[in-house]
Amino acid sequence: MSDLIITGARILGADPADIRITDGVITEITDRPGGLEPSDGVETLDADGLALLPGFVDLHTHLREPGREDTETVATGSAAAAAGGFTAILAMANTTPPTDTAEAAVHILDLGTRAGLVDVQPIGAVTKDLAGAELAELGLMARSRAKVRVFSDDGHCVGDGRVMRRALEYIRAFDGVISQHSQDPSLAGSTACCHEGELSGRLGLPGWPAPAESAIIARDAMLAQHTGSRVHVAHVTTAEGVEVVRWAKARGIAMTAEVTPHHLALDLGLLSGYDPVFKVNPPLRPSEDREALQDALVDGTIDAIATDHAPHARHDKEHAFVDAAFGMLGLETAFAVVHDLMVRTGRMTLADLAERMSLAPARIARLDGHGHPVATGSPANLVLVDPTATVTVDRESSHSISRNNPWHGHTLTGAVHTTILRGRVTAREGHAVTKEAHQ
Ligand SMILES: [Zn+2]
């Protein structure tokens, strides 16, 4: 029995087609005039004027459960993700306590299943308590029901080369990948809060030098080559970091990279007002870096877009710049920001966007059931977007508990219309649809 018929959808922006979904799988696609006959008891979704893409996959989401449920839970983060067009998110390990055991990973997985809006895939810590010294239970997490394949101490860099090497040797057995927050701790110091350069000097703020990022990417490229394991560069931000990734790929090293919408679209000039909403780690960089990131996204040096969605309470964020917490919200705005910046301007197609926001992230994470092309036989994890809708972002209308939204007041072209997880509508025009509301 059919679950859903979508009519008049433009797959990756092509000519209108009708799509039949049965038991969570795409079973028929037709572009003939007249299309699919609606049948009794089957929900029909009119997608006239909308583009249909594979559901987005976020390689880098910070949910704050356990430990800081006052800022985000698995359920509220899942709702924000569904509203943003995501069908799967990877939950970073830096909760309190961190996800550094199989039991903790399975707990996150189960909380995600209970929320039921997106598939929540836990990321495992590389080291115990994210302390950078002793390896966490990598093998147990991989063999658990959570099937962890992505490991990260994100928030911290695995700075010790010997620890990174051992972790890479270990994860090769189950085709894991380490997502590295590339930032040499000895170069960055503990007080940095923005990009080191002319502006940081003028503002009197301690900064991170660009080589703190690129030097770690270079070290990790050599370790990946030596061990034959996969390294993924989380949130690359500098032109020279991109150059190292490009060099590693040219040598055949198994290195992939992601960029955030905020590093693509915003630069450090915004810091001159000392507004902590723009305080993020790694920091916003000069416009030359931003342009290099955009070029690298277009030419494929950067494989994926990831949000680094990082919710914070007002009382942690609204401080003097040096004391405020690092991070920004991103799940609900990612598509609009990237569409407005890269697709509306003609630099990327909707197919390119689908590759960077769905296919590539699912492939890097070895995530089953997501990142498939929109084709017969694929799981019906889908998103309908309206490429012509113009939306002004309002931080108060968010599913996130937190409000640290750097896009507040921005007007963007491109909106998520409907998100579909295994044939079930999980969000409609910016609002998550819970299972109960559905029945
Ligand atoms: Zn990070």
pLDDT in tens, 383-420: 999 999 999 999 999 999 999 999 999 999 999 999 99
User: How many CA atoms does the CB half-sphere of 85 hold within 13 Å?
Assistant: 29
Q: Identify whether residues 60 and 101 lie together within a single domain.
A: yes
Check pLDDT > 60 for residue 92.
yes
How far, in Å, from the CA of 284 to the mean position of ligand 1? 13
370 in a domain, yes or no? Answer: no
Joined tokens for residue 220: 């990790």
Q: Residues 320, 191: one domain? A: yes
**Domain closes at, from 316, 338, 365:** 365
CA of 281 to the centre of ligand 1 (A): 6
Judge if 74 and 115 occupy the same domain: yes
- Please indicate, yes or no, whether residues 165 and 248 belong to a single structural domain of this protein: yes
Which pLDDT belongs to residue 436? 64
CA-to-CA distance for 80 and 67, rounded, in angstroms? 19
SS3 annotation, the chain = CEEEEEEEEEECCCCEEEEEEECCEEEEEECCCCCCCCCCCCEEEECCCCEEEECEEEEEECCCCCCCCCCCCHHHHHHHHHHCCEEEEEECCCCCCCCCCHHHHHHHHHHHHHHCCCEEEECECCEHHHCCCCECCHHHHHHCCCCCCEECCCCCCCCCHHHHHHHHHHHHHHCCEEEECCCCHHHHCCCCCEECCHHHHHHCCCEECCHHHHHHHHHHHHHHHHHCCEEEECCCCCHHHHHHHHHHHHCCCCEEEEECHHHHHCCHHHHHHCCHHHCCCCCCCCHHHHHHHHHHHHHCCCCEECCCECCCCHHHHCCCHHHCCCCECCCCCHHHHHHHHHHCCCCCCHHHHHHHHHHHHHHHHCCCCCCCCCCCCCECCEEEEEEEEEEECCCCCCCCCCCCCCCCCCEEEEEEEEEEECCEEEEECCEECCHHHHC
Same domain membership, residue 224 and residue 84:
yes
Distance 155 CA to ligand 1 centre (A): 5
Q: What mean pLDDT, rounded, does the chain reach?
A: 95
Mean pLDDT of 128-149: 98
Would 372 be classed as within a structural domain?
no
102-122 per-position pLDDT tens digit = 999 999 999 999 999 999 999
Is residue 438 very low, low, confident or very high in pLDDT (cuts 50, 70, 90)?
Answer: low
Last residue of a domain, one of 365, 387, 413: 365
Tens-digit pLDDT profile for residues 360-371: 999 999 999 999
**Which domain does 402 fall in, by range?**
2-52+377-438
We report the CATH number of the domain holding residue 39 as 2.30.40.10
Over the stretch 25-51, which tens digit does the pLDDT of each residue have? Answer: 999 999 877 788 877 788 999 999 999
Whether the pLDDT of residue 244 is over 50: the answer is yes
Query: What residue type is assigned to position 310 of the chain?
Result: A
User: How far is the centre of ligand 1, averaged over its atoms, from the C-alpha of 179 (Å)?
Assistant: 9
Half-sphere CA count of 331, side-chain side, radius 13 A: 39
Compute the Cα dihedral for 336, 338, 339, 344 and give only its sign. Answer: positive
**Residues involved in catalysis:** 308
Lowest model confidence (mean pLDDT) among 3-7, 83-87, 97-101, 433-437: 433-437
Domain final position from 337, 365, 393 = 365
Mean pLDDT of 293-314: 96
| pLDDT value for 190 | 82
pLDDT of residue 273 exceeding 90 = no
How close is the Cα of 252 to the center of ligand 1, in Å? 25
266 plus 299 within the same structural domain: yes
Which phi and psi angles does 276 have, rounded to 5°?
-65, -10
In this structure, the answer to whether residues 46 and 98 fall within a common structural domain is no
263 with 248, same domain? yes
Give the pLDDT confidence score for residue 2 in this predicted structure: 59
**Given the DSSP bridges, would you call strands 411-421 and 382-392 parallel, antiparallel or unpaired?**
antiparallel
Rounded CA-CA distance 233/209 in Å is 17
Q: How confident is the model at residue 439, as a pLDDT?
A: 46
Q: Are 273 and 352 part of one and the same domain? A: yes
Q: Which residues surround ligand 1, an ion (CB under 5 A)?
A: 154, 181
β-bridge pairing 411-421 and 424-428: antiparallel
Question: For the chain, what is the domain count?
Answer: 2
Instruction: Tell me which of 35 and 256 has the higher pLDDT.
Output: 256
**Quick one: how far is CA 311 from the chain centroid?**
14
Residue labelled with tokens 């990321």? 123
pLDDT value for 242: 98
Contact 293, 259 (CB under 8 A): yes
* 53-57, 99-103, 197-201, 212-216: least confident range: 197-201
CA of 154 to the centre of ligand 1 (A): 5
CA of 123 to the centre of ligand 1 (A): 13
Percent of the chain with pLDDT over 90: 88
- Check: pTM over 0.95? Answer yes or no: yes
Ligand 1 centre to CA of 242 (Å) is 16
- Are residue 348 and residue 387 in the same domain, yes or no? no
Task: Using alpha carbons, list the distances in angstroms from residue 429 to 81, 129, 288, 415.
Answer: 13, 39, 35, 8
CA–centroid distance, 61 to ligand 1, in Å, is: 10
* Residue 251 Cα to ligand 1 middle (Å): 26
Same domain, 172 and 293: yes
CB atoms within 10 A of CB 225: 16
